C-alpha cells in the first residue's frame, strides 16, 4: 500500500519543527551558560553553579515560548531579513523582561542576576541572528553552486547603477544578496556631489553620469541600470545618451507610478523604452467617479482584442462591473485577452463574444441577451495606408458599423455610447480619418434625434424567468430611462499599438536597418495606452451627450527624433551602425496632426487634460444609408468623392 502523501508532508513538517526547537534550545542554553562565565570572569562559584543549573530549565521554557509567539518555529531558517531581525529582538527582549520579574518581586528561588540577564540577552540575540544569517548565506551559496553545476549559473556581469538613492541602494542590495542573478554592482553614479567617494552597500559612488568616460574600470562594464524612478524624462534621456555613446546597454527601473501601484518590484529592471523619454506627466483621474459610473453595470467593449480595446477591458474589469462583454471579430485576439483576465482573477465578470459589429442579427441577440448599459466602441480599421487602397472596407467598418451599433444602442436604451476616434478625423487627408470623422458626425446626428426610452420592456413570464437557458443577469430591470448619451473621444498615436511606428522601428533596428521615416519634418502626438484609456473612461464620466472630447496629448514629437532615440536605446549609433532613410509621405499622410475643426466650439471640462468640443456640422443619415448600398459598386476615386460630399473638410488623394 502506498503511503499517504499528506501524511508524509505532516511528518516532514513535524521533523523540521522538532529540529528547529532543538537548535534554538541549544543556542539558548549555551548563551545562558556562557553569560554566567562572562559575568563572573570565568570563575563561577559552586553556589552560582547550582543556581545556573536550577534556572536553565526556566530560561529555556520562557525563551522558547517567546520564540513561538514571534512565529519563529514556522519560519524557514534560510530566509532572514529585517522583519525577522525585529521579531527576534522583540522575542528575546520580552523574555528578558519576564525573567527580570522574580528579582523585582524579590522571589529569590527564580531570580537571575541582572548582569547575567543583560549578557544573556546580547549573546542569545546575537547567536540567533548569526545562525539565521549563516543559514541564509549557506542557501544562497549552495543554490548558486548547484546552478553552476547544472550549467544554469549565468555569467557574472559587472554593472553600474545610476542613482545612489533608496531605489539604487535597494537594487544593489538585491543583486549582492542574490549572485545567481548574474549581476555584480561595481560602481554608482549620482548627481549629488555630497555622495561622491562614499560607499553604498560596499559599492563606491564614483561621480556624475557625465564622468563615465574618465572612470577607471568603466570599460569592463556590461550595462548601466538607471535607478531614478522619479527623474524627469529629459534627465533620463541625457543619461541614456551618455552611456550609449560609451557602447553600454542601458536599462531602467519601473517608473514611480508602477512602483507605487505595487504592480512591479524595485528589482524588476527592464530596457529603457521610448515612453521613458517623452516626458509625459502622470494623469490624475477621478477614480471614484469612474468606479461609480461603471460599477455594477453591464459594459460592452467592441474590438476587445485590440490595443485600446484590451486595455479598456483591463481597466473596466478592475472597477467591478456587473458584466464585461468582450466583443471581438478575431478569435485569436479575443482568446488572448480572455486568458489574461482569467489569470488576473477577473474571469467571473467577463463574457467573451465572437461577433462582427456589422452582423445585425448577432449584435441584436447580444443586446437582448446581455442588455449592456455602457458601450465603448473601439472596433475599427485603423491602418492609414492599407485603408487608403480599400476605402469600401474602411467606410463599411468604421462608419457604417458605428452607426448600426449606435442605432441598436438607442433602440435598446443603452445609457452611454463612447466612440474611440482619432486626431486624423480632423480635416482628414486619408480615408481612415475621413471614415472616423463620418462616424463622429453620425453620432452627433443620432444624439440630436434619438428618442427617449419611455419604459422598461414588459416583464418576462414566470415560466420564462425560471428557464435555465437564460443567464441570471439577463433578467435585470432597466435603470436608464433617458436617451442614449452619444459621445466620441479623440486622441493621437498610442505607443506600442499594432501598426504604429514603434514596433515598425523596432523590427527595422533588429534587422540591422535602415530605419525608414517618411519626412524629416513629420510630427505626431503620442500617448501611452493606459494613459489614453484612463482619459477615455474619464471622458465618459464628464459626458452629457453630443460631445467630442479631445485628450491633451502634450507636445508633438518629431518622428525622426523618435527614430534616433530608438536606435540609441538599442546600443547603436545613427549614421554609423544604422542609417535613417526618408521615404517620402505616403498618400493620405500629413506632416502634422490638428486638434480642432473650424466648425467645432470649445468648452472646458473639469479635467485639465480633457477638452470638450460640440460640433455644428451635421450629416444626413439617409445619405450615408444610400452610400452603404453602393459601396461595392463604386471604384476608389468615386468612393472618395462620396466621402468628400459627406465630409466637406476631407481632402482626398485620388488615384
What's the pLDDT tens digit per position in 258-310? 544 444 444 466 666 666 666 556 567 777 888 888 988 999 999 999 889 99
> Which grid coordinates belong to 577?
551602425
What is the rounded distance in angstroms from the CA atom of residue 556 to the CA atom of residue 527?
10
120 and 211 in a common domain: no
Q: What is the pLDDT at residue 462? A: 37
Q: Are residues 294 and 408 in the same domain?
A: yes
From 246, 272, 298, the end of a domain falls on 272
Residue 189's DSSP bridge partners are: 162, 207
201 and 334 fall within a common domain: no
My answer on whether 263 and 400 are in the same domain is no
Statement to judge: residues 215 and 291 lie in one domain: no
320-366: pLDDT as tens digits: 899 999 999 999 999 999 999 998 888 889 999 999 999 999 999 99
Helix 559-569 vs helix 501-510: crossing angle, to nearest 10: 40
Domain assignment present for 468: no
Of 99, 130, 149, the residue that ends a domain is 149
Query: Does 445 map to a domain?
Result: yes
Please indicate, yes or no, whether residues 209 and 105 belong to a single structural domain of this protein. no
Joined together, the cell numbers standing for residue 147 give 546552478
Same domain, 371 and 420: yes
Eight-state DSSP code of residue 220: G
Burial class (CB in 10 A: 0-12, 13-18, 19+), 149: exposed
What's the predicted TM-score (pTM) here? 0.64
**pLDDT of 11:** 47
CATH for 303: 3.40.50.720
Cα–Cα distance for residue pair 624/270, rounded to 1 Å:
49
Range of the domain at 58: 10-149
Residues 17 and 121 in one domain: yes
Domain assignment present for residue 423? The answer is yes
Examine the domain organization and report whether 302 and 448 are in the same domain: yes
Say if strands 515-517 and 493-495 run parallel, antiparallel, or are unpaired. unpaired
What is the pLDDT at residue 415?
Answer: 92
The C-alpha cell 531579513 sits at 81
In this structure, is residue 297 part of a structural domain?
Answer: yes
Q: What cell does 71 get?
A: 512565529
48 contact partners, CB below 8 Å, separation of at least 6: 36, 40
Same domain for 176 and 101? no
State the total domains in the chain. 3
- Check whether residue 388 and residue 299 sit in a common domain: yes
HSE of 284, CA atoms in CB hemisphere, 13 A: 3
DSSP string, 249-308: EEEEPPPHHHHHHTSS-TT--EE--GGGTS-PPPPP--HHHHHHHHTTSEEEEETTTSHH
Q: Are residues 186 and 241 in the same domain?
A: yes
Does residue 446 form part of some domain? yes
- Write down which residue in 130, 149, 168 finishes a domain: 149
Note the pLDDT of residue 476: 37
Tell me the CA end-to-end span of the chain in Å, nearest whole number.
82
Q: Is residue 4 part of a domain?
A: no
Asked if the structure places residue 614 within a domain, the reply is yes
Residue 470 lies in a domain: no
Low-confidence ranges of the chain (pLDDT < 50): 1, 5, 7-11, 256, 259-267, 451-481
Amino acid at each position: 500500500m502506498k503511503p499517504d502523501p499528506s501524511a508524509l508532508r505532516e511528518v516532514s513538517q513535524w521533523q523540521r519543527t522538532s529540529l528547529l526547537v532543538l537548535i534554538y534550545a541549544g543556542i539558548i542554553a549555551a548563551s545562558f551558560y556562557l553569560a554566567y562565565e562572562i559575568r563572573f570572569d570565568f570563575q563561577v562559584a559552586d553556589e552560582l553553579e547550582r543556581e545556573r543549573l536550577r534556572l536553565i530549565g526556566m530560561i529555556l521554557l520562557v525563551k522558547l515560548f517567546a520564540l513561538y509567539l514571534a512565529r519563529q518555529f514556522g519560519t524557514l531558517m534560510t530566509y532572514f531579513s529585517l522583519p525577522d531581525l525585529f521579531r527576534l529582538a522583540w522575542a528575546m527582549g520580552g523574555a528578558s523582561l519576564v525573567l527580570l520579574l522574580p528579582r523585582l518581586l524579590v522571589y529569590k528561588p527564580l531570580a537571575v542576576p541582572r548582569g547575567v540577564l543583560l549578557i544573556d540577552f546580547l549573546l542569545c540575540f546575537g547567536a540567533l541572528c548569526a545562525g539565521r544569517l549563516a543559514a541564509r548565506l549557506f542557501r544562497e551559496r549552495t543554490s548558486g553552486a548547484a546552478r553552476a553545476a547544472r550549467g544554469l549559473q549565468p555569467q557574472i556581469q559587472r554593472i553600474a547603477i545610476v542613482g545612489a538613492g533608496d531605489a539604487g541602494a535597494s537594487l544593489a542590495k538585491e543583486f549582492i544578496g542574490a549572485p545567481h542573478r548574474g549581476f555584480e554592482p561595481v560602481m554608482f553614479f549620482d548627481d549629488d556631489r555630497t555622495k561622491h567617494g562614499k560607499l553604498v552597500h560596499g559599492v563606491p559612488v564614483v561621480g556624475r553620469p557625465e564622468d563615465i568616460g574618465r572612470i577607471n574600470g568603466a570599460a569592463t562594464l556590461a550595462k548601466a541600470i538607471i535607478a531614478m524612478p522619479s527623474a524627469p524624462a529629459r534627465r533620463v534621456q541625457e543619461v541614456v545618451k551618455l552611456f550609449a555613446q560609451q557602447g553600454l546597454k542601458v536599462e531602467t527601473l519601473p517608473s514611480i507610478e508602477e512602483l507605487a501601484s505595487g504592480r512591479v518590484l524595485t528589482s524588476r529592471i527592464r530596457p529603457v523604452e521610448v515612453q521613458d523619454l517623452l516626458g509625459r506627466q502622470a494623469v490624475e483621474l477621478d477614480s471614484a467617479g469612474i468606479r461609480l459610473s461603471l460599477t455594477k453595470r453591464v459594459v460592452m467593449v467592441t474590438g476587445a482584442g485590440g490595443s485600446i480595446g484590451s486595455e479598456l477591458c483591463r481597466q473596466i474589469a478592475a472597477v467591478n462591473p456587473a458584466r464585461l462583454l468582450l466583443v471581438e471579430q478575431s478569435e485569436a485576439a479575443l482568446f488572448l485577452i480572455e486568458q489574461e483576465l482569467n489569470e488576473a482573477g477577473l474571469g467571473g465578470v467577463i463574457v467573451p463574444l465572437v461577433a462582427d459589429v456589422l452582423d445585425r442579427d448577432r449584435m441584436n441577440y447580444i443586446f437582448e441577451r446581455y442588455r449592456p448599459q455602457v458601450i465603448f466602441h473601439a472596433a475599427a480599421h485603423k491602418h492609414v495606408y492599407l485603408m487608403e487602397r480599400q476605402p469600401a472596407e474602411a467606410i463599411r467598418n468604421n462608419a457604417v458599423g458605428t452607426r448600426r451599433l449606435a442605432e441598436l444602442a438607442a433602440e435598446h436604451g443603452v445609457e452611454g455610447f463612447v466612440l474611440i476616434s482619432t486626431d486624423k478625423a480632423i480635416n482628414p487627408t486619408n480615408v481612415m480619418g475621413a471614415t472616423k470623422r463620418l462616424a463622429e458626425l453620425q453620432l452627433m446626428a443620432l444624439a440630436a434625434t434619438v428618442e427617449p426610452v419611455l419604459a422598461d420592456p414588459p416583464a418576462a413570464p414566470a415560466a420564462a424567468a425560471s428557464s435555465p437557458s437564460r443567464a441570471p443577469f439577463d433578467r435585470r430591470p432597466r435603470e436608464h430611462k433617458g436617451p442614449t448619451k452619444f459621445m466620441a473621444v479623440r486622441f493621437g498615436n498610442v505607443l506600442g499599438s499594432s501598426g504604429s511606428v514603434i514596433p515598425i522601428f523596432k523590427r527595422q533596428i533588429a534587422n540591422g536597418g535602415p530605419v525608414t521615416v517618411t519626412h524629416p519634418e513629420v510630427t505626431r502626438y503620442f500617448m501611452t495606452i493606459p494613459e489614453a484609456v484612463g482619459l477615455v473612461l474619464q471622458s465618459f464620466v464628464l459626458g452629457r451627450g453630443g460631445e467630442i472630447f479631445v485628450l491633451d496629448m502634450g507636445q508633438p514629437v518629431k518622428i525622426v527624433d523618435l527614430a534616433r532615440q530608438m536606435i540609441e536605446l538599442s546600443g547603436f549609433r545613427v549614421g554609423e551602425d544604422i542609417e535613417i532613410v526618408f521615404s517620402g509621405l505616403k498618400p493620405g499622410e500629413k506632416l502634422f496632426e490638428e486638434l480642432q475643426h473650424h466648425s467645432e466650439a470649445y468648452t472646458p471640462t473639469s479635467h485639465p487634460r480633457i477638452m470638450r468640443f460640440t460640433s455644428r456640422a451635421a450629416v444626413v443619415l439617409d445619405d450615408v444609408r444610400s452610400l452603404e448600398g453602393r459601396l461595392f459598386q463604386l471604384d476608389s476615386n468615386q468612393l472618395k468623392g462620396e466621402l468628400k460630399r459627406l465630409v466637406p473638410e476631407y481632402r482626398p488623394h485620388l488615384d
